[in-house]
Structure 1
Amino acid sequence: MTQHTDVLDDENPAYWVKSVEKTFSILLAFSPDEPRLTITRAAAKADLSRAAARRFLLTLADLGYVRMDGSYFELTPRCLDIGASFLANLSLPQIAEPHLKDLAVKLNETASLCVLDGTDVVYLARVAAPRLLSVSVNVGTRFPAWATSMGRVLLAGLPESVREDFYASLNLQQFTHHSVSSIEQLRAEVDRAGRQGFCMVSQELDDGLRGVAVPVRRGNDLIAAINVSLQTHRVSEAEIARTVVPELQEAARAIADDFGGRRAISA
C-alpha cells in the first residue's frame, strides 16, 4: 500500500502546486458582493502581488474563465464547467440534507425540506431531532399545504391568481380545534407569512406541535421551504421568532447557495 511520504515545505506537502492554489484564490476572489474586480482589488483579495494577479487574470481571460471590461475583470459562464459534473449528480434533497443536519443539531429539533405539489406539501428531506415528536413523518409524506407552516410560505410565493385558484379548490378540514376555519382566515395567514418572510403554525395539524418555516429561494425563484417542528410547551412564539427564525433563514440561504443561488442572484 502506497503512503504519502512527501516532506512538508511551508506547511504544504512537497507535491503542492502553488500556481493551482493561486489560480483558485483569484477565482474565489470574485463574490456576489464584488462580481467585478480590478487587478489591484483582485490581488488584495487573493493575497497576491499586483504583477502576479495580472498574469493569472490575463491567463484566465485567454482560457475563457474571466473577461475584461475596461480595467475590470469578471467571471464568465465557463466557470460553471468546473462544478457541472458534481452538481449534475446532486439533487435538492442531497444538497439540503447536511444543512438540515446542522440545523437539527443547533436547535435540537426536527428539520425538514418540502415542496408544493398540488394542494399538498411533500417532504423531500427530513432530519429527526434526538427526541422523537408525536407525528411520524418520513420522506414522501404528504400533508395539506394550507395546514402547515411550509405550505403557507410556499403559497405566499405563488402568483396571486394561482393562489386564488388554490383557495377555490380547498375543502378545509378541522384537524384540531386550532385549525383555521375559513378561507378568509387562511388568506390572512398566508398574506402575513409573505409579509414577514416566515410562517408559524401552532397546533393546527396536531395538538402540542408548532411548526415554523421559511422559504428557500434561488434568485427570484421559490424552490422549496424548510421548517422545524417544536413542542409548544418548550419555546414561546416570541422566542421562536427571535432565535429559531434566524437560524432557519441562514440554513435556507446556505441550501440556495449550494443549489445555485449565488449564480442566480448575480446572473
Structure 2
Amino acid sequence: MKRPAKNVATDRNFVVALARGLDVLRAFRPNDGLLGNQEIAARTKLPKPTISRLTYTLTKLGYLTPVPRFEKYQLAPAAMALGYAALANLGVKHLSESFRDELMRQTGGACAVGARDRLSMIYFGQSKSSLTVGVQLDVGSRIPIATTAMGRAYFWALPPEERAQLLREFREHYGHRWSKMRDGLERAGEMVARHGFVISAGEWQDDVHAAGVAMTLNDGTGPYAFNCGAPAFRFTEDRLLNDIGPRLLTMVRNIEAALGGAAAPQSKKLDSKKIKSGGKVARIVEGL
C-alpha cells in the first residue's frame, strides 16, 4: 500500500488506530511463522503497550491466532483471506500468466509482475522453472523500488506528483545511501526514454540481473511493473539490453493490448538534449 501523502497529524479523516492495526498485520512477512509483541513493535516502530492492545484486538476479531506456548502470534485465516481476495480481483495476474510463462520458456529467466507496497514492490504473480533456481523469490516477496529493475520501471511510470512524493520518502528513508541510488534512478530514466525498459545488473544483489517494464491501463489502475531476471552468469548486461529487455517490452505491450490498456507514457522518446547529464531526467530525480 502507498503511504498517505497528507500529514496524518492534520488529516481529520485519517483513522490512526486503523492504520496501526494494519501495520501490525503488515509486519508478518512470507515464511515468518510466529511473531511476538516485541518483534512486531520493532518492525512497526510502535510502543510495545500499543502493540499488545492491537494484537489483543486483532485476535478477538479473528485476524491473528495466539500461540500461548511461545507467547507469539501467527496470521489467522481471516487475514490471509483478505490477501487471496485481493489477488482474485487482480485481472493482471491471471491474464498475464500465459505471457509470463512463455517468456520464461524463451529466456530461461523468472518473470514476475508486482505492485507498490510503500518503498517496495510486492510480487503478486510469478513464473519460474528449474532453470531459474538461483532466483529465490515468490508471490508475496518484496523488493526495493530504488535499486531493482521492476521498481525503477514503476518509478518512471508514476505521475509527476506521486513521483515527487516518492522521492521525498526515498531521501528521508535512505539518508547517506540516497546519493548512489539517485544516480541509478537517473540512469534508469534515461534508459526508459531510449528503450522503453530498464535494467538492474547487480545493483540490488550482486548475482541478480534483470530487466523491467511498467504497465499503466486506461481504467486508471496501476502502474504495475514486470521483470525478467536470472543469475548474473545467465543474463549478462549485453543480453539484458539486446534480448531480454526488448522481449519483456513486447510482452508487456501485448498484455496491455489484451487488457484494453494503452502504452505507458514513459516509453516515448525524449529529445536527446533532455537526457544528458543535468537534463530533464536528472532534474526529476533531484526532485525539482
Q: Is the TM-score greater than 0.5?
A: yes
Aligned to 2:234: 234
Aligned to 2:174: 172
In 2, the alpha carbon distance for the partners of 1:247 and 1:135 equals 19
Question: Aligned with 1:125: secondary structure?
Answer: strand
Question: Aligned with 1:146: secondary structure?
Answer: coil
In 1, the alpha carbon distance for the partners of 2:228 and 2:258 equals 20
Cα displacement string for residues 71-114 of structure 1 (whole angstroms, at most 9, x for unaligned residues): xxxxxxxxxxxxxxxxx987210111111001100111111111
Query: Is 1:192–2:201 an aligned residue pair?
Result: no
In 1, the alpha carbon distance for the partners of 2:246 and 2:202 equals 22
Q: CA deviation at 1:115?
A: 1.5
Q: Aligned AA for 2:189?
A: D
Alignment of 1:69-88 (within 5 A): none
Q: CA deviation at 1:251?
A: 1.1
Aligned to 2:204: 205
In 2, the alpha carbon distance for the partners of 1:211 and 1:142 equals 15
Q: CA deviation at 1:218?
A: 2.8
Gaps of 5+ in 2: 1-87, 265-288
Q: Aligned AA for 2:213?
A: V
Q: Aligned AA for 1:199?
A: V
Output the aligned Cα RMSD.
3.0
- Is the 8 Å Cα contact of residues 210 and 240 (structure 2) preserved in structure 1? no
Question: Aligned with 2:132: secondary structure?
Answer: coil
- Is the 8 Å Cα contact of residues 114 and 224 (structure 1) preserved in structure 2? yes
Q: Which has the larger radius of gyration?
A: 1
In 1, the alpha carbon distance for the partners of 2:218 and 2:92 equals 15
- Is the 8 Å Cα contact of residues 209 and 229 (structure 1) preserved in structure 2? yes
Question: Aligned with 1:103: secondary structure?
Answer: helix
Q: CA deviation at 1:150?
A: 0.8
Q: Aligned AA for 2:216?
A: R
Return closer, same or farther for 1:219/1:90 CA change in 2, 3 Å cut-off: closer
Q: CA deviation at 1:139?
A: 0.9
Q: CA deviation at 1:149?
A: 0.4
Aligned to 1:9: none
Q: CA deviation at 1:190?
A: 3.8
- Is the 8 Å Cα contact of residues 208 and 229 (structure 2) preserved in structure 1? yes
Q: Aligned AA for 2:101?
A: K
Cα displacement string for residues 117-165 of structure 1 (whole angstroms, at most 9, x for unaligned residues): 3221111110113223434211121111112101101100112332222
Cα displacement string for residues 199-229 of structure 1 (whole angstroms, at most 9, x for unaligned residues): 1101122221101111223359653111111
In 2, the alpha carbon distance for the partners of 1:161 and 1:122 equals 22
* Aligned positions, number: 173
- Is the 8 Å Cα contact of residues 167 and 183 (structure 1) preserved in structure 2? no
In 2, the alpha carbon distance for the partners of 1:112 and 1:203 equals 18
Gaps of 5+ in 1: 1-87
- Is the 8 Å Cα contact of residues 201 and 237 (structure 2) preserved in structure 1? no
In 1, the alpha carbon distance for the partners of 2:192 and 2:232 equals 23
Q: CA deviation at 1:166?
A: 1.0
Cα displacement string for residues 30-56 of structure 1 (whole angstroms, at most 9, x for unaligned residues): xxxxxxxxxxxxxxxxxxxxxxxxxxx
In 2, the alpha carbon distance for the partners of 1:101 and 1:153 equals 21
Return closer, same or farther for 1:259/1:128 CA change in 2, 3 Å cut-off: same
Question: Aligned with 2:143: secondary structure?
Answer: strand
Name whichever structure is richer in helix by fraction.
2
Question: Aligned with 1:115: secondary structure?
Answer: strand
In 2, the alpha carbon distance for the partners of 1:250 and 1:228 equals 12
TM-score (norm 1): 0.57
Name whichever structure is richer in strand by fraction.
1
Question: Aligned with 1:218: secondary structure?
Answer: coil
Aligned to 2:260: 260
